[in-house]
Structure 1
Amino acid sequence: MIDLTTLIAYVVIVLGFVFIPGPATLLTVARATSSGTRVGIATGAGIAAGDVIHTVTAIVGISAIIAASALLFSIIKYAGAAYLVYLGLRAILEKTPVDGLSGLLPISAATAFRQAVLTEVLNPKTALFFLAFLPQFVRPENGSAVVQLALLGAIFVLLGLVSTVAFAVGAGGLGNFLRRNPAVLKWQGKVVGSIYCALGLRLAMQDR
Structure 2
Amino acid sequence: MFVQFLAATGVLAVLTMVPGPDMAVVTKRAIASGWQDGLRTVGGIAAGLLIWGVLTVIGLAAVLAASATAYTIVKLSGAVYLGFLGIQALLQSRRSRSVASAVNVPSPSGNPWRTGLVSNVFNPKIAVFYTGLLPTLAPSGFSPHLGMTLLFLIHATLTLVWLGSYVLVLAKARAFFEKPAVRRTSDRITGVVLIGFGVEVAASRP
TM-score above 0.5: yes
Quote the residue 1:116 is aligned against.
116
**Distance in 1 (alpha carbons) for counterparts of 2:20 and 2:84:** 20
Q: Give 1:172's aligned amino acid.
A: A
Quote the residue 2:54 is aligned against.
56
Quote the residue 2:108 is aligned against.
107
Unaligned runs of 5+ in 2: none
Quote the residue 2:22 is aligned against.
24
User: For 1:75, which of 68, 73, 76 is the aligned residue?
Assistant: 73
Q: Secondary structure at the match of 1:207?
A: coil
Displacement of 1:18 in angstroms is: 1.4
Displacement of 1:105 in angstroms is: 5.6
Q: Secondary structure at the match of 2:19?
A: coil
Contact kept, 8 Å, 1:63 with 1:127, in 2: the verdict is yes
Q: Give 1:176's aligned amino acid.
A: A
Contact kept, 8 Å, 2:39 with 2:164, in 1: the verdict is yes
TM superposition score normalised by structure 1: 0.87
Report the identity percentage. Answer: 29
Q: Give 1:36's aligned amino acid.
A: G
Q: How does 1:1-208 map to 2 (within 5 A)?
A: 3-94=1-92, 95-96=95-96, 98=99, 100=101, 106-107=107-108, 111-139=111-139, 142-179=141-178, 181-208=179-206
> Could you list the per-position Cα deviations for residues 116-166 of structure 1 after superposition, in whole angstroms to 9, with x for gaps in the alignment?
1001000100111011122113355x2432222111110111011111111
Unaligned runs of 5+ in 1: none
Q: Give 1:73's aligned amino acid.
A: Y
> Could you list the per-position Cα deviations for residues 30-68 of structure 1 after superposition, in whole angstroms to 9, with x for gaps in the alignment?
322232222222222111111011111110000111122
Contact kept, 8 Å, 1:36 with 1:173, in 2: the verdict is no
Contact kept, 8 Å, 1:6 with 1:137, in 2: the verdict is yes
**Distance in 2 (alpha carbons) for counterparts of 1:19 and 1:185:** 24
> Could you list the per-position Cα deviations for residues 13-37 of structure 1 after superposition, in whole angstroms to 9, with x for gaps in the alignment?
1111112323322322232223222
> Could you list the per-position Cα deviations for residues 93-116 of structure 1 after superposition, in whole angstroms to 9, with x for gaps in the alignment?
2434845496776137x7121111
**Distance in 1 (alpha carbons) for counterparts of 2:58 and 2:144:** 11
**Distance in 2 (alpha carbons) for counterparts of 1:124 and 1:101:** 35
Contact kept, 8 Å, 1:40 with 1:172, in 2: the verdict is no
Displacement of 1:4 in angstroms is: 0.9
Contact kept, 8 Å, 2:88 with 2:191, in 1: the verdict is yes
